[in-house]
Structure 1
Amino acid sequence: MSTTTTTSIHQTLVPTWEGNPPSDAVDQPFQALARGDRNGVLKLRGIPSFKDPYAKRQWIREHMAAAFRFFGKQGYGEGVSGHISVRDPILPHHFWMNPFAMHFSLIKASDMVLVDSSGYVVEGGNQAMINEAGFMIHSEVHRARPDAVAVAHAHSIHGKTWSGFGKPIEMLTQDACNLYGKVGVHAEHGGIALAQEEGRAIANALGKTNTAAILQNHGSITLGQTVDEAAFLFYSLEQACQSQLLAEAAAANGVVKKIIPHDVAQFTADSVQTPNNFYLEFQPDFDLIVAESGGKVLQ
């Protein structure tokens, strides 16, 4: 399989792109989202792959840092709550997490902490503490879902408010279809997750195929094959929860909601629910955060 090489913003990394260009005939919905030239030379490029696993590790940490800065800009932080984890590409059963009690908007790539399967900090990353509840949640989700490379969780205001109803979101908007058929509900809040049982219950709510779950009286959680996907889906779910709350307020005053019918929602979902698309959806914000930080987020 031939590859096309491009230079990363971070000059030490040279990612190659999947496919020729990516996903030639295996990701047609992704290619259908944009139009290039008549000869089909201009194509969308999705998730990069790496020949060097250490370059991939650095790329993961950079994109994690950007995801946290994005969460900070959106106001998803609340004290020490909220965490993102990503599987390490080199060490089996290890993953990267954010340091405990560091504001999302300050996080850089070098701040990421590497932990083992028992949640203990190991060499190779920042020597800092992590959130215990975060490990209990993320470790169980990673264990139950080997397809989930990244897991994102925060106590965003609209997500946690809607979670108080213990109900899934409705397909009120086209954007909500990013999550059609992919949102579970963890309907029994067990308090702060300082035991594995709560993490397992959250993993069960995600099931085998969901990319998101609403955690009753708690917040939201999303999964992705990249941290970019997990971050974008978290944002998409938060936006859907805000729309839902607004719609419920209007409906309480007699305004009838119009739900997108199944066939239309499924068609939209089939068009957008690909890892390449959700990775790409985050790239405008990634580029903006790199520019706004003067590249410091990559350090």
Structure 2
Amino acid sequence: MNTHQHNMTHWAERVDMAAAFRWTARLNMHEGVANHISLAINDDGTKFLMNPNQMHFSRIKASDLITVDAHDPDTLKGPDAPDPTAWGLHGGIHRLVPHARCAMHVHSIFATVLASLKDSRLPPIDQNCATFFDRYVIDDGYGGLAFEEEGTRCAALFSDPKQKVMIMGNHGVLVIGETVAETFNRMYYFERSCETYIRALQTGMELRVLPDDIAEKTAQELETYPEQDIRHLAELKAVLDDEGSSYSQ
């Protein structure tokens, strides 16, 4: 057992988060030393774990994660303070969207391409895309870096609990969920869906769009598919363990 485990709470959640960071980097869905993943650790969601300021996703270990209090601006003053945009966006989400226990914000390539189009809708052209039918919100009011005011504005867009992906126009994507496994799985499949759509557009051919009723049926079937998210993350951790990764330290 790693000695860090003796004096750190929420160890299993920290390990899950560290694995998610490592795989996000491996899939090239990170961006330099920017982007953030956070997880609420108290009942109202206002205390949360997140990555330390400007540490590369591929190096993050469970013990590196910092605890942030969304109601305490002094969080920004300590030696391990998160960067101000992380505080602004994730603090806003955890203060104002109680069902968003986990939040993942990345500038992954294909989701960001979609967010750069005048029409940022994701039509249900395959099974993965259908997963997100009527389950995302588009932010078309980008106002600069995600400092506190921008974070509050974005949080207000998650008014429908069914919508768990925000296509952040001119910016990237924000994915929310109950657990690390659920949220990572959603982020992974959203990026896959965006890639399928963008590559389909590049052919210049007419798209085969599913009818709304079939898209909704498919989305509901995938939402209730047993343990896909749990098994997905468990397998990724198993691969990391086989490789001798330091993520769980």
**Global fold match (TM > 0.5):** yes
Shift of 1:108: 0.4
| Residue 19 of structure 2 is aligned to residue 66 of structure 1 | yes
1:204 to 134, 152, 156: 156
1:249 to 177, 198, 202: 202
The corresponding residue for 1:192 is 145
1:102 to 27, 36, 55: 55
The corresponding residue for 1:183 is 136
Change (3 A) 1:219 1:200: same
**Percent identical residues:** 28
The corresponding residue for 1:128 is 80
Say which SS state the counterpart of residue 157 (structure 2) adopts. Answer: helix
Structure with the greater alpha carbon radius of gyration: 1
1:272 to 216, 222, 226: 222
The residue type paired with residue 150 of structure 2 is E
| Residue 171 of structure 2 is aligned to residue 221 of structure 1 | no
2:41 to 82, 88, 99: 88
Shift of 1:120: 4.2
The corresponding residue for 1:163 is 115
- Which has the larger helix fraction? 2
Change (3 A) 1:183 1:101: same
Q: Conserved in 2, the CA contact under 8 Å of 1:158 and 1:242?
A: yes
Q: Conserved in 1, the CA contact under 8 Å of 2:131 and 2:215?
A: no
Say which SS state the counterpart of residue 55 (structure 2) adopts. Answer: coil
Question: TM-score, structure 2 length as denominator?
Answer: 0.87
Change (3 A) 1:277 1:141: same
The corresponding residue for 2:93 is 141
Cα distance in 1 for residues equivalent to 2:169 and 2:235:
31
Shift of 1:93: 2.2
Q: Conserved in 1, the CA contact under 8 Å of 2:45 and 2:98?
A: no
Q: Conserved in 2, the CA contact under 8 Å of 1:113 and 1:127?
A: no
- 5+ unaligned residues in a row in structure 2: which ranges? none
Shift of 1:145: 1.7
Say which SS state the counterpart of residue 76 (structure 1) adopts. Answer: coil
Cα distance in 2 for residues equivalent to 1:120 and 1:260:
50
Cα distance in 1 for residues equivalent to 2:221 and 2:43:
33
The residue type paired with residue 107 of structure 1 is I
Q: Conserved in 2, the CA contact under 8 Å of 1:188 and 1:216?
A: yes
Say which SS state the counterpart of residue 101 (structure 1) adopts. Answer: coil
| Residue 236 of structure 2 is aligned to residue 285 of structure 1 | yes
Aligned length: 240
Shift of 1:269: 1.1
Q: Conserved in 2, the CA contact under 8 Å of 1:109 and 1:297?
A: yes
Q: Conserved in 2, the CA contact under 8 Å of 1:145 and 1:208?
A: no
Say which SS state the counterpart of residue 124 (structure 2) adopts. Answer: coil
- 5+ unaligned residues in a row in structure 1: which ranges? 1-9, 13-53
Say which SS state the counterpart of residue 247 (structure 2) adopts. Answer: helix
The residue type paired with residue 247 of structure 2 is V
The corresponding residue for 1:263 is 213
Shift of 1:278: 2.9
Cα distance in 2 for residues equivalent to 1:113 and 1:83:
12
Q: Conserved in 2, the CA contact under 8 Å of 1:184 and 1:207?
A: no
Cα distance in 2 for residues equivalent to 1:145 and 1:186:
16
The residue type paired with residue 21 of structure 2 is F
Shift of 1:272: 1.5
CA RMSD of aligned residues (A): 2.4
Shift of 1:191: 1.0
The corresponding residue for 1:6 is none
Shift of 1:193: 1.1
